[in-house]
Homo-oligomer: A and B are copies of this chain.
Amino acid sequence: MWSDLLTQRGVCLVLSAPSGAGKSTIAKALRAREAGLVNSVSVTTRPPRPGEQEGVDYFFRSAEQFADMAAAGEFAEWATVFDRCYGTPKALVEKALAGGYDMIFDIDWQGFQQLRAAMPQDVVGVFVLPPSLAALRQRLHGRGTDSAAVIEERMDKALAEISHWREFDHVLVNDALEDAIDQAHAILIAARSAVARQGGFAALGF
């Protein structure tokens, strides 16, 4: 059957967004819908928080071990956030995709660019926007009793992230959550049938 020749290889679905746009909620809802959609488990140098499990939440490694892995090119993407390192082990991604699992990544635009460079045929990038600048500001406010200066700093960071939306494949506004989930889901399904990914069928010689 020709359906066996179309690729069964998984897709890397990247969701990027400014903080407060709701991408983690969308990612969680997608994983609940699609049993074959697995979370990427990162390596990190930060210590485990109570309840976090090695190999489930993160792979916890020392800064030295992390540096060795990075030097050996073992990461599909990695970044330093507040002096802590986070990286996606290339071998695990490769294993999941080859096994037919799709993966979902909750990373920023720099991580997306690294991941795309590492596995250009496998990655589809979705940029999630908040409903509006005003709504974003409100959500960043809503997190607590931070000073105006702290809120403005978060807004600046969010705007800097948003400035990279053009580099992604798709953009969606998280206006109505269910619609945003439906759209992200459709993007994942559509990505599976992309002609560029059908090396197996191409091998038939048609």
Interface residues, chain A, CB within 8 Å of chain B? 1-3, 6, 126-127, 129-132, 159, 162-163, 165-166, 168-173, 175, 182-183, 185-195, 198, 201-202, 206
- Cβ of A173 and Cβ of B131 under 8 Å apart? no
- Cβ of B186 and Cβ of A127 under 8 Å apart? no
Question: Which single residue of chain B is at the shortest CB-CB distance from A125?
Answer: B195
Residues of chain B within 8 A of A162, CB atoms compared: 206
A175→B1 CA distance, assembly (Å): 8
Known: A171-B198, A187-B190. A165 touches B206 (CB 8 A): yes
- Cβ of A186 and Cβ of B195 under 8 Å apart? no
- Cβ of A171 and Cβ of B193 under 8 Å apart? yes
A127→B193 CA distance, assembly (Å): 10
